[in-house]
Chain A
Amino acid sequence: MYMALLSIFCTNAINILAGINGIEVGQSIIICGAMIINNCVNLFTPEHTKHLYSLNMMIPLLGVMTGLFVHNKYVGSLVQFDDTKQTSRYPASVFVGDTFCYFAGMTIAVTGVLSHSSKTVLLFFIPQILNFLYSLPQLIGLIPCPRHRLPRYALVYISVHLLTKNTGWT
């Protein structure tokens, strides 16, 4: 029962903390790296077999995700925005959707369960747990929940602000 809940949580936790280029892969890389460090620290203790197993799963995953991260951050053509002179490479050449989030989350969860370190793995998911707790009012319906909750681009920030300020139009 606990194992089922853990694997469901890990997959969906990565999935709901997503939507901006690079963050799904970035956070998975950090979690994965933390697990590798944790395994390396414990490699020469009596229970080294399970950590060796975990390393076997995590090092290939880290390699795969590093490759994806390079293409997922911002690799498209360089765009300069009019107002702020911010530059951004948009769009990314690879978009990750549910497929990557479920793949990474499930791999991490299964590795945690099979190497008997699920509590340690859960500790690495603190930002996702915070995000889940913070979202809870919307998820259980106390507050209306739209389909997409991503941050938005600030459109014509300055001009509309000046317009409302000058004309008193609210």
Chain B
Amino acid sequence: MSTGLLQPSYVVLDTKNSRRWLFLLGLLHRFWIVDLRSTTHNAHYGASSPHSISKTVLGPAIEAEGYSVNNLTILNLILHIFGPLSERQMMWAVILLQIFCCSAAFFIRYQLVHLVY
């Protein structure tokens, strides 16, 4: 059974090195740039949520104090901002982003040319 909707995927911050950046990620989370989750957070996203990943794969020690963050791609960022989308909506979202950015590129190229080149 599937809803046909896409949602962001998450990576568990299990290394010491990544824990060091937790403060910064928390700050970015406030501005909706990343989605930082505590893995003790209620498991909204079903069987393959970071919660159960950390419990089954990494053991209960991690799970107790675990954090996870969405994988840092703009696909996941779009899904984080606009909520779960179907694959078709996702495709048009990316294409619209590309069209918008290309229009911005034309503006930079022909209006702000003295600033860039």
Contacts and interface: CB of A to CB of B under 8 A. Distances in A.
- Which secondary structure dominates chain B's binding surface? mixed
Contacts of B54: none
Contacts of B99: 30
Interface string A44-64: 000000000000000000000
A81 B102 contact: no
A34 B73 CA distance: 24
A88 B4 CA distance: 8
Interface residues of B, number: 55
Contacts of A17: 73-75, 94
A145 B94 CA distance: 23
B1 interface: yes
Interface in B14-62: 14-15, 17-18, 21, 40, 42-48, 51
Interface in A81-131: 81-84, 86-88, 90, 119-120, 123-124, 126-127, 130-131
Given A30-B98, A144-B14, A151-B6, A164 B43 contact: yes
Interface of A: 16-17, 19-23, 26-27, 30-31, 33-34, 37-38, 73-74, 79, 81-84, 86-88, 90, 119-120, 123-124, 126-127, 130-131, 134-138, 141-146, 148-161, 164, 170
Interface of B: 1-9, 11-15, 17-18, 21, 40, 42-48, 51, 69, 71-77, 79, 84, 86-88, 90-91, 94-95, 97-99, 101-102, 104-106, 108-109, 116-117
